[in-house]
Amino acid sequence: MWDDAFPSFLIGLREGLEAGLIVSILVATLVRAGARSRLPQVWTGVLAAIALALSFGAVLTFTAASLSATAQEAFGGTLSVIAVAFVTAMVFWMRRSAHSLSGEIKDKVTGALGMGAGVLVATSFLAVGREGLETALFLWTTAQAAGESAGPLTGAAIGLVLSAALCWGLYRRVLRINLTKFFTATGAVLIVIAAGVLGYGLRDLQEGGVLPGKASYAFDLSGSVDAGAWYSTLVQGVLNLTPAMTVLQVLGYGGYLAVVMTLFVRGVRDTAPKRVGTETAESAEATLTATQASRRRPTWLVPVAVVTVPALLAGAAVVFGRPKPAAAETVAVSAKECGKGFSAPKPGRQTFQMHNTGDKTSEVYLVDPATNAVYGEVEGLAPGTTRALVATVAGGTYAWRCVPSSGPAVTSKAVRVSGGGTTQAVVPVSEQDLAGPLQQYRSYVDKGLATLVGQTRTLAADIKGGHLGKARADWLTAHLTYSSLGAAYGTFEDFDQRINGRADGLPGGVHDKDFAGFHRVEYGLWHGASAASLTAPAQQLATEAAGLRNAFPHQDFDPSDLPLRAHEILENTLQFELTGDTDEGSGTNLATADANLAGTRELLTVLRPLLTTRAPHLLPTVDADIARLQTLLDAARHGGTWTSVAQLDATVRAQVNGATGQLLEDLSPVPDLLEIRKSA
């Protein structure tokens, strides 16, 4: 559950800090100024924002709807800019208030509290509302991905509680300091925070297509800074500074900070403190009291209203916006009726009920008949069964292709959809398309196995001759050769267990009679075993390597394995090598990770032509990820030795894990892009 909880914990901590810092300073300001009567206005704004976020989450949950990516970014960016405007106004109000407070605080502050109730409500509402909407959207998407796991909600709750505790500590601290210094110090802090919010908002507006320049970066430190580390999360949460920022973000951040901070500091220095006489204070206090009396209303009215209104709006959205199951088209699937019942759908996300009316299990694809690009699919639809197919429909031509388990494929009559923008489709891949890459990779593996046979024989000879120091170096050379062939391990059958098997799961562990291969020899070489005791295991390893080389040309290498291995090699690296789980004493897990990366790079080389035509933007991103991870691994190599995983600096280890995780995420679309789909 922690795997599901941790990302939500980070987002809860970050969003909670962003919202809580401004609110805690605002509350402390009012309390220190003796204006506790104004606190309900702040809490009304906070309550309204929480109600809006919860209502938004309810709408997402009960209608299965979500904002488009561009709309979400544009909306968040707009709220950010508005929030900066209100925070800036509050900062300068604080500065003016600081100069009017020189006598008894309670008597002097009444005339300085010129900020109206609407501004207090709006400031706290915007500070919490923007983060609340982001958190609701994030939690909804992660909860959907996690299924029944309670991890996302648990992680977010812990993060929010921790952020609240940090903000409470700030609040308690500022209550004990000089009020004039407090106004000045917190004003400067809020300007820095607002500059970060502005930069973040400008980035959102760029992502939403409102502002240009989203690809024009002023700097990109993602290769040297781990964006997933706790310290990065803290900096991003408090200051909204990220490892990569666009030119517009930097200009907005720097320009706002320079102009507003200059005006703020100049006002602090140049404006002489003004004493407010008792009569003036009493007059202002009387005026305020009279105004409050004239606007007297039940204290429960506003809080109830700010909760009820979003709830009613959410209820209306659920009632009127929930998709109606009856609207889904039922489409027949069979050799004779493929596509029967299909009419031109409206643009947008559509659900089709695919009913197999034939007597054979079928694959079903929604395709562009001109290019064979696939928009949606259902695999293994059995006779007499119905399953839903969900696809996003945009302007273009659509048809159904039914591919029975035996017999020819059938394509329905095409329909034309007008308008609706564009949608992404996948150009299908056949076994013939993968035949060339498969042959190239088989040749690569065959050469690697030939090299492995010679290297394992050298290792066995070293041990037989008692040259254990040389054997350690030759062991690593041979093991890295084998590790670089990772995409073929599914083809190696039982040879893989005998050559590179682990002690995990064996009754006797590292002393079990069935523990064999590279890791058995590694354990002995680095734990003081004698040459005599290692001769047989080393010779057996050389024998198994030779047997694998002889068997490989005749082994069945499924072409569909190639796309799957693109990310599976590094999944195993993250699970075994980067945890130190497979280290039996040599401390060379990072060397193995390096070999796995080399194997991944070789695999992507043979798949590159297919990926370039289907996802032209994927490979440049992956290449950058590989370069970043390679740089981190190279830093752990010192001639012929490697830093062990256990001895890595905590920051470096987090960077290596983060870079591997990012590469895995960017490689994850490959299996879907290159999945073999039947077309005949």
Which segment, 69-73, 370-374, 581-585, is predicted with the most confidence on average? 581-585
Q: Largest Cα–Cα distance in the chain?
A: 103
Average pLDDT, the chain: 77
Q: What's the pLDDT at 30?
A: 73
Q: Predicted confidence band at 179 (pLDDT cuts at 50, 70, 90)? A: very low
Q: What's the pLDDT at 518?
A: 95
pLDDT beyond 90 at 530: yes
Between residues 76 and 24, the one the model is more confident about: 24
Q: Predicted confidence band at 534 (pLDDT cuts at 50, 70, 90)? A: very high
pLDDT, average across residues 291-297? 45
Q: What's the pLDDT at 284?
A: 39
Helix then strand count (H, E) for the chain reads 21, 12
Residue type (1 letter), 23: V
pLDDT beyond 70 at 59: no
Backbone angles phi, psi at 154, to 5 degrees: -65, -50
Query: How does pLDDT run across 469-478, given as a tens digit for each residue?
Result: 999 999 999 9
* Angle in degrees, CA 161, 166, 169, rounded to 5: 125
Strand, helix or coil for residue 214: coil
- Helix residue ranges per DSSP H, 301-341: 301-321
pLDDT above 70 covers what percent of the chain? 67
Angstrom distance (rounded) from CA 385 to CA 378? 12
Q: Predicted confidence band at 285 (pLDDT cuts at 50, 70, 90)? A: very low
Q: What's the pLDDT at 533?
A: 95
H, E, C per residue of 617-632 = CHHHHHHHHHHHHHHH
C-beta atoms surrounding 680 within 10 Å:
8
Q: What's the pLDDT at 148?
A: 47
Q: What's the pLDDT at 231?
A: 66
Angstrom distance (rounded) from CA 390 to CA 423? 13
| Residue 238 exposed, middle or buried by CB count within 10 Å (0-12, 13-18, 19+) | middle
pLDDT, average across residues 199-209? 78
Between residues 223 and 376, the one the model is more confident about: 376
Q: What is the DSSP letter of 404?
A: E
Between residues 87 and 553, the one the model is more confident about: 553
Angstrom distance (rounded) from CA 257 to CA 83? 15
Q: What's the pLDDT at 444?
A: 93
Q: Predicted confidence band at 103 (pLDDT cuts at 50, 70, 90)? A: very low
Angstrom distance (rounded) from CA 663 to CA 601? 12
pLDDT, average across residues 133-154? 56
Q: What's the pLDDT at 230?
A: 58
pLDDT, average across residues 292-300? 47
Q: What's the pLDDT at 541?
A: 96
pLDDT above 90 covers what percent of the chain? 29
pLDDT beyond 80 at 531: yes
Between residues 232 and 615, the one the model is more confident about: 615
Q: What is the DSSP letter of 576?
A: I
Q: Predicted confidence band at 425 (pLDDT cuts at 50, 70, 90)? A: confident
Strand, helix or coil for residue 337: coil
pLDDT beyond 60 at 669: yes
Least confident of 33-42, 61-70, 394-403: 61-70
Query: How does pLDDT run across 627-637, given as a tens digit for each residue?
Result: 999 999 999 99
